[in-house]
Amino acid sequence: MEVIICGSYDELSKLAAQAVAEVVRNKPNAVIGLATGSSPLGLYKELARMNKEDGLDFSQVTSFNLDEYVGIGPEHEQSYRRFMNENLFEGINIDIAKTNVPDGLADDYEGFCKAYEDKIAAAGGIDVQVLGIGSDGHIGFNEPGDSLASRTHTVTLTEGTIDDNTRFFQKKEDVPIYACTMGVGTVLDARKCVLVATGKGKAKPVAAMIEGPITSMCTASALQMHNDTQVFLDEEAAGALKFADYYRWIQENKPNAPK
């Protein structure tokens, strides 16, 4: 894992956006994996700016989102489809028909999850996956105990995740308890991962992900097995890292590193 500790949320968002943009520039028909939540909002804003001002072209890009709440349709205020439309897709020149978000209202989730996996494979696999991290160390909605080999599946959210996400709903009881998510195995198949985390609430899960053991108790720790993952952090999210000085040292000396 490459750990990049930034001075501010703005800086980490810009650097993470550059990493995603580089993939799209090198492969105009790239397949990008996307996350919702607060963490990637700055990254998405920067991608939209690059689309408008720097000519970053999304017209041939296909996207797959990590997850969606079960029981929530695309029109629902808190649906991840709506979140993506409002926070990214409407701000860039992506073809909306090429954007995929798991179906919150599928009749048959077993069939749906398999079809989602098949669609990712048919698109050629994910070139770059954007990720956030939950306070319990989840990526996607792969909660503690979820298999590190899992594929797209439904999951019961932990009470902690429901508490964290209550801020988006009127009350806790309105937060769905089930979700459909790409599995950890699906994420690990992405050619590159870009994870963003901000604020002191993320310090513990970030340290567990980077420096803890690989364990399904922190599904993000599986990224230690991925050979091209960049983690963009602000100082607060990096606050519990024991080797923070070493990660800074690596970045400072990167320009001269042997290739």
Which two three-digit tokens encode residue 130?
Answer: 């954007």
Nearer to ligand F6R, 154 or 251 (CB): 154
Report in angstroms how near the CB of residue 146 gets to ligand F6R at its nearest. Answer: 12
Report in angstroms how near the CB of residue 164 gets to ligand F6R at its nearest. Answer: 7
Sign of the Cα torsion 18, 39, 1, 192 reads negative
Cβ(36)–Cβ(83) under 8 Å?
yes
Report in angstroms how near the CB of residue 179 gets to ligand F6R at its nearest. Answer: 9
Which two three-digit tokens encode residue 198?
Answer: 């901000």
159, burial (CB in 10 Å: exposed 0-12, middle 13-18, buried 19+): exposed
**Binding footprint of ligand F6R on the chain (CB under 6 A):** 35-39, 66-67, 132-134, 138-140
Nearer to ligand F6R, 39 or 100 (CB): 39
Residues classed as catalytic = 67, 136, 138, 143
Sign of the Cα torsion 140, 142, 147, 152 reads negative
∠ CA 8-14-19, rounded to 5°: 130
Question: Helical H runs in the chain?
Answer: 9-26, 41-53, 80-87, 109-122, 159-165, 184-188, 203-211, 244-253
Distance (Å, whole) CA 227 – CA 236: 25
